[in-house]
Amino acid sequence: MPTLDSLFSPRELSAAIDAGHVTRTRHPGLGLSLYAYTRLCQYEHAWSEVTRRCRGLVVSDEDGTVVAWPLRKFFNTVDHARGLPYAPPLPTGPFRIYDKVDGSLGLVFFWRGQWRVVTTGAFDSPQARWAQRHLADRDTSALVPGTTYIAEVVYPDNRVVVDYRGRQDLVLLAAHGADGTELDLDAVADHWAGVGNVVRQWPAMPLDQLLQLTRTDTRPDGSAARGIDGEGFVVLFANGLRVKVKYAEYQRLHRALGGVTVRDLWRAKGLSLFAQHDVTQLSKALDLPRAEISARLADGDPLTVLLRRVPDEYDEWVHGVLDGFTRRAESMQQEIDAAFRAHAHLSGDRRAFARALSATESAVRSGAFQRLDGNDTSLLVWHALKPRTD
């Protein structure tokens, strides 16, 4: 069986962990480690062979053998038209169309005499615990040890957007053999009969037609797909490449449910940038109670924490918003510097300095006085960028 070191070099893995792009979680009693890419990796588009494979990769601590094989990270169809190194142009060959199930991705594998479940980021997440209990009540006699069964964990308390109306299921999406080779889904469907359902496959159609259906929120059978009725599709090409395409209304609802606003991004980025500043100063600049600032900083990097609420399809929007703040901050800083230099000769007379700046924008004027007193102006500038509305 392949080992972790045969997939990529230890140096590459260590670099990804050090950069915050991959985490390693050790199970306290099973002698296993789980490797998963992070939200920061998604946001920074730090996709490589290492990060794409670390999507719930489970490895034996004793000898490095890969025990459970996840699906590699795959991307939206639009990403493959952008010339990205990790998303090559789509092949022209045949493909299969499957429903994209809206739950949590789980891996079912055999270890130390028992079928076990993890989710892509944790051994002991609520979804993994639910799936383990669910699996215990199912007939697993047809499952083949050495095979990794990849399933979507669906139950009411784990609803994301789609309303499955009380459904409790482990929906089989794919399977890998012990050597990591993907198995034909039809060939392993019988294994899963005692456990749960198999993901729905739709009749073949041109990709452009499928994309048009998602833009108009229409199922392949012609029925309407509201945002709570379905997420979209996974397309599996004959060469093994997967891509996803989501209904327009689903994407809108997913973002809305996250509830992240432009003002939220401004605050989170401000907390990240100025975390070392005095809490009282931060409270005034970011309009947040001191206790809330302390709590947010204790949870980790505030921007990274906030990004967990943003679907990765909206990372470009996040980048655009934050880049806009950065450009405006740099521009205002330049205005402050220019105003201070223009009137530095009046620095010995604060009243004269104030009169000379009387027609200047308030934030620039305040910044010039901070410069006069030898203070840093970066937090003042960030406060001036606060969005008036969400």
* pLDDT score of 229: 87
Task: Give the number of domains in the chain.
Answer: 3
Domain end point (choices 251, 270, 299): 251
Beta strands in 163-283 (DSSP E): 169-176, 201-202, 232-237, 242-246
- Token pair 């600049």 in the structure block, residue: 285
Judge whether 15 lies within some domain: yes
* pLDDT score of 116: 98
**Which residue ranges in the chain fall short of pLDDT 50?**
none
Distance from CA of residue 200 to its chain's centroid?
Answer: 25
d(CA 177, CA 192): 15
Q: Which residues contact 317 (CB under 8 A, 6 or more apart)?
A: none
Residue 232 shares a structural domain with residue 336? no
Residue 73 shares a structural domain with residue 219? yes
DSSP tag of 345: G
* pLDDT score of 362: 87
Instruction: Give residue 379's domain range.
Output: 259-384
Domain end point (choices 229, 251, 273): 251
* pLDDT score of 26: 97
Bridge-partner residues for 99, per DSSP?
233
Residue 161 shares a structural domain with residue 291? no
Judge whether 226 lies within some domain: yes
Residue 247 shares a structural domain with residue 101? yes
Which tokens hold the place of 300? 């980790």
pTM: 0.81
Whether 280 and 288 have beta carbons less than 8 Å apart is answered as: no
d(CA 310, CA 259): 8
* pLDDT score of 253: 85
